[in-house]
Amino acid sequence: MMIGRLTQRASCALRIEARRCKSTAPLTSTQLPNLKRGDYSSLTDADVQHFERLLGAGGVLRDETDIAPYNTDWMSWYRGRSRCVLLPRTVEEVSAVMKHCFDRRLAVVPQSGNTGLVGASVPVFDEIVVSMRRLNKRFDFDPIPGILQCDAGLVLEELDTRLGEFGYMMPLDLGAKGSCLIGGNVATGAGGVRLLRYGSLHAHVLALEVVLPDKDGTVLECGPALRKDNTGFHESHLFIGSEGQLGLITQVAMTAVPKPNSVQVAMLGCDSFLDCCKVLGDAKRLLGEILSSFEMMDSETMRCLKENHGRHNVLSTPAAFNLLIETSGSSQEHDQAKLNKFLESCLEKGLAVDGVLATSVEQANTFWALRENATLALMDDGYVFKHDISLPLKHYYRLTEAVRERVGSLAKRVITYGHVGDGNTHLNVTASEFSQELYDRLYPFVYEWTTQHGGSISAEHGVGLLKKRYMPLGKSPAHLAQYGRLKRFYDPRLILNPYKMLTM
């Protein structure tokens, strides 16, 4: 029953890099013919020479093959036609770049790991890509208060590993950890599989350094790196989830969390979604403070993992839902006893039809690999209509059922997995290729249904280009107008990440 100290989980990083080079996505401008290029300047040789002087020759990519991965999103839904990628190494370089882009009215897309799932990190037309990957030198950690200060271009998994040397870890964990960068995480307001326990990035970000797209390329220090500071407006929070609309995040100060001594992982099978909810209620009550993840995969997800990836369920009794539960605590004996008791109780009450505890780190990684590879496995079907929705639990799986009925045989699969402990469902509808008929069955139905049932059209992935049309759902005109005013305040020439999220 004992799995010891679980330090690392399998990462999707290698597969992600491989996909990024293979893109055959159609040009976004062809897919969206009504979307017109804004009134921006076009890049000239003089601009390129200026950038080369600022960043050195290695800081400016111009070769089409080198640029291709920066033009295409991870899902291969979108493809821009940028002719220039900039790779600054310091905040001064970012500032000088933004000052020039402001002067010349050149449109810019900030990009980190390019693992975003809403088409927000790639150009639509010929915007310049400012990649943050080389801004990755500073790593300062003070282990007594547990405060990390680092450059925005550090990879999430690398941060987690480096913090491990101090007995700490990142409060954030997600399947793309081997490729995404902390600045990209903050700009997206990413959630992931530890949010249930540690809260969102709003609970952890203390301060940000941000470069504004204004005439000076202003470097803004948003807040001191202190746990408590109650002076002024807490502007750093505005940049969490701002999707590159307001400024470029160059440094992050945030709290890390102590690495648990004991990590236990269990998989449970439930026959109904109502039983999943009851198990969640019991997990909160019986596991209490040690509960750290509560993830769900429905039977369609398990079938897809088996058919497309040859990954087998770890439960021997087939169930309508698999629940992946993780606890993190300081005492193995205590945590194991609690999880065992909880599992027994679920089986005795008939809430679970099967249950298994990981008995080694390898087994725990196998359990997690099922959940973390769901995203990749379903892509082998061909085309994916992906969703990231927040719903009250009483409606959570009803959306999947409604969509299944609505799309019928038009879809190859209707799959749902997600962070059920946070009310976050990832409903995915697959087909062998993009189908307009399927699209029309899904939209606006999915997003209107979500709003009508008290949900949000994005729990963690953001809005980007994918959901821009539906951004007004559930928001008042006054609220949207306020977003527009804020955008213009930070980005007066509207050069930052145009065509996404906001209608200006």
In the bound state with ligand FAD, the residue whose beta carbon lies nearer, of 244 and 260, is: 244
73 binds ligand MLT (CB under 6 A): no
267 binds ligand FAD (CB under 6 A): no
Residues 143-172 that bind ligand FAD (CB under 6 A): 152
Residues 336-395 that bind ligand MLT (CB under 6 A): 375, 388
Query: What is the per-residue burial (b if ≥16 Cβ within 10 Å, else e) of 479-491?
Result: eeeebeeebeebb
Query: What is the per-residue burial (b if ≥16 Cβ within 10 Å, else e) of 10-19?
Result: ebbbebbeeb
Looking at residue 14, the DSSP 8-state letter turns out to be H
Closest CA to 78 of 502, 504, 473, 500: 500
Label residue 477 exposed, middle or buried (CB < 10 Å: 0-12, 13-18, 19+).
exposed
Q: Which amino acid is at 61?
A: L
Q: Is residue 227 helix, strand or coil?
A: coil
- Window contacting ligand FAD (CB under 6 A); options: 188-196, 311-319, 392-400, 449-457: 188-196
The least distance separating ligand MLT from the CB of residue 493, rounded to whole angstroms, comes to 33
The least distance separating ligand MLT from the CB of residue 420, rounded to whole angstroms, comes to 11
d(CA 308, CA 380): 6
Q: Number of residues in contact with ligand FAD, rule: CB under 6 A?
A: 37
- H/E stretch holding 251: strand 248-255
Beta bridge partners of 329: 262
The least distance separating ligand FAD from the CB of residue 117, rounded to whole angstroms, comes to 5
413 binds ligand MLT (CB under 6 A): no
430 binds ligand FAD (CB under 6 A): no
* Distance, C-alpha 11 to centroid of its chain: 14
**Contacted by 426, from ligand FAD, ligand MLT, none: CB < 5 to 8 Å by type:** ligand MLT
List 79, 133, 204, 426, residue binding ligand MLT (CB under 6 A) = 426
Interface characters, 194-233, with ligand FAD (x: CB under 6 A): ----------------------------------------
Residues 457-486 that bind ligand FAD (CB under 6 A): 460-461
The least distance separating ligand FAD from the CB of residue 184, rounded to whole angstroms, comes to 2
423 binds ligand MLT (CB under 6 A): no
Residues 155-184 that bind ligand MLT (CB under 6 A): 175
375 binds ligand FAD (CB under 6 A): yes
d(CA 345, CA 302): 25
Task: Work out the number of other CB atoms within 10 angstroms of the CB of residue 30.
Answer: 8
- Window contacting ligand FAD (CB under 6 A); options: 181-189, 356-364, 431-439, 474-482: 181-189
d(CA 341, CA 221): 49
Contact between residue 23 and residue 72 where contact means Cβ atoms under 8 Å apart: yes
**Contacted by 301, from ligand MLT, ligand FAD, none: CB < 5 to 8 Å by type:** none
Task: Work out the number of other CB atoms within 10 angstroms of the CB of residue 330.
Answer: 11
| Binding residues for ligand MLT (CB under 6 A) | 175, 375, 388, 426
